[in-house]
């Protein structure tokens, strides 16, 4: 899957969901978390953009340039995409 020029990889195991983009630098890809409506940015090394989607892939909410140590929740979301923030 592509989103805004980034290849998006699905986090489909517990470990992949747990780790996400934590501890990563120079990220050039995105992640999608299905059946998910919240994320955190603890231990992030790079700012990210976060896109909450419904079951039909419609964007419900978008957050740009999110820094570390934040928690984002969108109760109506079904999935979440994380991509690196473009400067």
End-to-end CA distance of the chain: 22
> Sign (positive/negative) of CA torsion 16, 19, 23, 29?
positive
The pTM (predicted TM-score) of the whole model is 0.91
Band of residue 2 on the pLDDT scale cut at 50, 70, 90: confident
Q: What is the pLDDT of residue 42?
A: 95
Quote the pLDDT of residue 1.
Answer: 82
Residue in the block written with tokens 């995409």: 81
Give pLDDT tens digits for 25-76: 999 999 999 999 999 999 999 999 999 999 999 999 999 999 999 999 999 9
Q: How far apart are CA 85 and CA 31, in angstroms?
A: 13
At the fourth CATH level, the homologous superfamily of domain 2-84 is: Protein of unknown function DUF192 (2.60.120.1140)
């Amino acid at each position: 899957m592509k989103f805004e020029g980034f290849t998006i990889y699905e986090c489909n195991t517990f470990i992949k969901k747990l780790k996400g983009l934590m501890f990563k630098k120079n990220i050039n890809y995105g992640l999608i978390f299905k059946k998910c409506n919240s994320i955190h940015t603890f231990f992030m090394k790079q700012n990210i953009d976060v896109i909450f989607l419904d079951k039909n892939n419609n964007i419900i909410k978008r957050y740009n340039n999110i820094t570390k140590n934040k928690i984002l929740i969108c109760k109506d979301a079904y999935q979440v995409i994380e991509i690196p923030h473009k400067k």
